[in-house]
Structure 1
Amino acid sequence: MLFSRNALAAPALVSLLLTGSAAADDAQSRAQDALKTLQTWYNPQSGIWDTCGWWDGASCMTTVADLAALDPSVMDTATYVFNNTFHVGPVSNPHPGPEKKTVFTRDNQGANSVNASQWLDQAYDDDGWWALAWIAAYDATREQTYLELAEGIFESLAAAWGTNCGGGGIPWNPTSTYVNSITNEVFLSVAAHLANRVPDRKEYYVRWAQKEWDWFTSQGFIGENGTINDGLLENCQNNGATVWSYNQGVVLGGLVELNRAAPNDTLLPSANKIAEAAIKTLADSNMVIHEFCEPQCLPDGTQFKGIFIRNLQMLQRASPDETYRKVIINSANSIWKNDRDEKGGLGVNWAGPIQATVDASTHSSALDALVAALALSIL
């Protein structure tokens, strides 16, 4: 009896498709359940999530937006959050800053102007987190006002350009000379994201993103093992401080977006080198990501790993690698199996067990991994 190759392959193909579909359904239901739990912390009066700080709130909103962009069934929740936070969120700003840019206008007549100053809090990295959050909200909804707000925040960041290290980069805040990694990585990412979303100013944003990356690579941020330390000493040398996961992550998304806007054969290889070094440093033998501060990472470290996974997923889409896929999937699976409390809250130790406070920050960070796993299953 003769069998066709297609006839033999069909059952295996159907099995593969069903398995993939089941995996997507499972990832989707996990993310949906985790979003429902996250929303138990959302405070309509403050516009952010109870137990979150100001910048953590921006990261939470980005997570919600990323999920909504993948899963239309949660769009009502997401649009409610975006609209409410847009109108009341500034009341939670703890330190309204002295940054000079107050209104961003798309034209000379003042039309479509938005007040960005109320989102600035005297820390340039915090400003950048809100710019990224509003870009993510724009991606989910195509609401132009959100994109204009991000552009306005960016103008304040660009006005801060120039440090004692090579005359470039952005300091941590308007009153500090400390030059740290995250502030400059966020600036790179915001510029690169805007380059792909504002066609009439694309070249402007590409120039800024490339200028930041050229300066960043000329400084001492990257250590000998390829990971990125926290910042620079007064003499502009690497300070050898903690290799935080989010410092390894934000740059990945920035380079992916910059390569999309202005393709260059060095950008993705640079991102891959950082990602590989980060995984070697931060992943355990089961390919689950850890933070050096575990299990006690309050107040900020609780947010970091989700940001790393969020950006690693962006790199995986642009430059697929089996190791990246394993890190994302294994981290998500471990969170669901080992890092949930009786109320569905997700903790900071993704390998488990829960040993510290579970709050909106730890939960949203872990939700980032669930969203990244969902993205891999359907994109």
Structure 2
Amino acid sequence: MYPSLFIHTVMLSASFAANAFGQSDISDPTTRAEFALSALQIFYNAGTGLWSTTGWWNSANALTIVANLAKVDGNQQLQSLASRLFANTLVQAPPQNPQPGVEGNHNKKREDLNDTLVIFNSTGAGSGYNKIMDNNDEVVTVYPEGWNKPTGAYIDVMQLPIYKTGEKAKIATADVNDWIDGFYDDDLWWALGWIAAYDVTQDKEYLTLAESIFAAVATTWGTNCGNGGIYWSWQKSYVNAIANELFLSTAAHLANRADDKASYVAWAKKEINWFTASGMINSRGTINDGLTSNCKNNNMTTWSYNQGVILGGLVELNRASPDDSYLALAAKIAKAAIAELSDDSGILHDKCEPSCGADGTQFKGIFVRNLQLLHEAAPDDAYVKFIQTNANSVWMNNRDDGNMLSIDWAGPFINPANASTHSSAMEALIAAITVK
């Protein structure tokens, strides 16, 4: 890894950095998050547009995290960094797509919600990229040999021409096929990432790309479970919670930003109606991983991210088409998840800890990100307490001398941290800014 000059010269003024490093601890939520971003950017390879030590979909989440901090932090240097990072990733990341072209003809558009157009695997040219469930119900992503291992020197973000002082970040024209890989959760993580980039920059290119990704996934609507919902992937072997929650959230986010609001509202409503009838929400109010082959709740692990993504989707749908039932359902799921997944001290955990793989390490931050959205829409002291408790524990108990953040938010720090553990824990720090 190359220690990026960003730490001192992009986001923080010299005097601010000197004062902050001189303190034994930092209590201000914004300052904590800024220093965490400095550490996160050590992992960012401007040559690939991704964060090293983590995966393709994880980098989409890291991009979203940078955008979310830029939205709540008034630091103009940070916002400038974010806009340039988005532009760079848009150009540099597509060659890292682990399985481009596994499906074809994505640009066909479904004309209405009753259309039966379904396009799967027109090429059949799988790359070896795959996702499987291990014996502990944890997702394990398998990448093609040599994936994201570019030759040559690590490229620091400050060395790119796009980062010249005073030069506005240039936005490249995006091709939707660069961002889809046959796993619909991956596709929609990137769609949400580009929506977050649009929120910061107001550059329509990002919103258009997100719409195109959503349109490609929407052509796959209709599973063997009531002819509704979407499968996890082009293989059509599993109907799971995360892909469908992301479909809901992306549609609802687009409803509040894109021109064709009515169409996106209709998609979001169609998804939430199917999802709530599917049985994936259990009697405790939490969400299991997915459905069996005969369309019953599989009673697999209630991962934290499955409790989180739906919250943001319901908040955005309620914003686009107000209905008291949406926020009521979100509150029920959020409080059930906090009760089920927190330890006696109120710290969030997933069952794979402390040995989570590269996927499970990302999950908890996604829950907190979406809980933050729910709190903004329907404030609740319970959410404030949860967010502050977890953020304080991350900073005080789960951080090394270089401000790297690890897997167990309760502590102690487990070496080594990576871009996934760090970015996930950083989400608690960002959420704490909004509730201070």
**Normalising to structure 1: TM-score of the pair?**
0.89
Aligned with 2:251 (options 184, 187, 191): 191
Look up the SS of the partner of 2:43 in the other structure: coil
Match of 1:51 in 2: 53
Following superposition, the deviation at residue 41 of structure 1 comes to 0.4
Q: Does 1:149 align with 2:151?
A: no
Match of 1:240 in 2: 299
Q: Does 1:37 align with 2:39?
A: yes
Q: Does 1:161 align with 2:221?
A: yes
Q: Does 1:83 align with 2:87?
A: yes
Match of 1:302 in 2: 361
Look up the SS of the partner of 2:409 in the other structure: coil
**Measured at CA, do residues 104 and 339 of structure 1 come closer, stay the same or move farther in structure 2, by a change above 3 Å?**
farther
Q: Distance in 1 between matches of 2:412 and 2:346?
A: 16
**Measured at CA, do residues 101 and 278 of structure 1 come closer, stay the same or move farther in structure 2, by a change above 3 Å?**
farther
Match of 1:212 in 2: 271
Opposite residue 216 of structure 1, the aligned amino acid is F
Match of 2:374 in 1: 315
CA offsets per residue over residues 86-132 of structure 1, 9 Å max, x none? 01111111111433455599xxxxxx974111100110000000000
CA offsets per residue over residues 54-81 of structure 1, 9 Å max, x none? 0000000000000011113211221121
CA contact (8 A) 1:103 1:113 kept: no
Match of 2:195 in 1: 135
CA contact (8 A) 1:104 1:115 kept: no
Q: Does 1:228 align with 2:287?
A: yes
Q: Indicate the RMSD between aligned Cα atoms, in angstroms.
A: 1.6
CA contact (8 A) 2:61 2:193 kept: yes
Q: Distance in 2 between matches of 1:102 and 1:375?
A: 38
Opposite residue 198 of structure 2, the aligned amino acid is Y
Opposite residue 257 of structure 2, the aligned amino acid is R
Match of 1:274 in 2: 333
CA contact (8 A) 2:107 2:216 kept: no
Opposite residue 35 of structure 1, the aligned amino acid is L
Following superposition, the deviation at residue 206 of structure 1 comes to 0.1
CA offsets per residue over residues 131-157 of structure 1, 9 Å max, x none? 000000001111110000000000011
Look up the SS of the partner of 1:66 in the other structure: helix
Q: Distance in 2 between matches of 1:330 and 1:292?
A: 19
Aligned with 2:230 (options 162, 170, 180): 170
Match of 2:118 in 1: none
Following superposition, the deviation at residue 354 of structure 1 comes to 1.9
Q: Distance in 1 between matches of 2:103 and 2:317?
A: 26
Write 1 or 2 for the structure with the bigger share of helix: 1
Opposite residue 266 of structure 2, the aligned amino acid is R
Where does structure 2 lack aligned partners over 5 or more consecutive residues?
Answer: 1-25, 110-171
Where does structure 1 lack aligned partners over 5 or more consecutive residues?
Answer: 1-23, 106-111
CA contact (8 A) 1:104 1:114 kept: no
Aligned with 1:354 (options 413, 417, 427): 413
Following superposition, the deviation at residue 52 of structure 1 comes to 1.3
**Measured at CA, do residues 358 and 376 of structure 1 come closer, stay the same or move farther in structure 2, by a change above 3 Å?**
same
CA offsets per residue over residues 166-214 of structure 1, 9 Å max, x none? 000000101132000000000000000000001x300000000000000
CA offsets per residue over residues 285-318 of structure 1, 9 Å max, x none? 2221111111011110100000000000000111
Opposite residue 277 of structure 2, the aligned amino acid is S
Opposite residue 87 of structure 1, the aligned amino acid is V
Look up the SS of the partner of 1:179 in the other structure: coil
Look up the SS of the partner of 2:283 in the other structure: coil
Following superposition, the deviation at residue 343 of structure 1 comes to 1.8
Q: Distance in 1 between matches of 2:316 and 2:108?
A: 23
CA contact (8 A) 2:289 2:301 kept: yes
Q: Distance in 2 between matches of 1:156 and 1:351?
A: 40
Following superposition, the deviation at residue 40 of structure 1 comes to 0.3
Look up the SS of the partner of 2:272 in the other structure: helix
Following superposition, the deviation at residue 264 of structure 1 comes to 0.6
Opposite residue 222 of structure 1, the aligned amino acid is I
Following superposition, the deviation at residue 25 of structure 1 comes to 7.8
Which runs of structure 1 show a deviation greater than 4 angstroms over 4 or more consecutive aligned residues? 101-105
CA contact (8 A) 1:348 1:356 kept: no
Opposite residue 217 of structure 1, the aligned amino acid is T
Opposite residue 212 of structure 2, the aligned amino acid is G
CA contact (8 A) 2:90 2:174 kept: no
Report % sequence identity: 53
